[in-house]
Amino acid sequence: MFLADVEEAAGGGPWAAAIAQMRGAGLPVPQIMHLFAFKPERTQHLAEFTQGVMRGPSPLSPGQRELIAAFTSKRNDCPF
């Protein structure tokens, strides 16, 4: 990560628990999760926005929206 202090911080909120589970399972941790855990009170609105966009009412199913997000991430050379 570009900000070692953020990645190495204990963090808080549900994101810290998810990071601990992923590390315990030997899985890679998406970098955005470190930011969410570092300042959960500042990133809660972003998490709620994302869930609203991906799971809220839409003519597209959640699966189609996930597919669009995965395709966009791939095009941006960003692991999904």
pLDDT in tens, the chain (80 residues): 577 888 888 788 888 899 999 999 999 888 888 888 988 888 889 989 989 999 999 999 999 999 999 999 899 988 66
pLDDT value for 80: 60
For the chain, give every domain's residue range. 4-75
d(CA 32, CA 20): 14
Q: Which residues are CB-neighbours of 69 under 8 A, at least 6 positions away? A: 54, 80
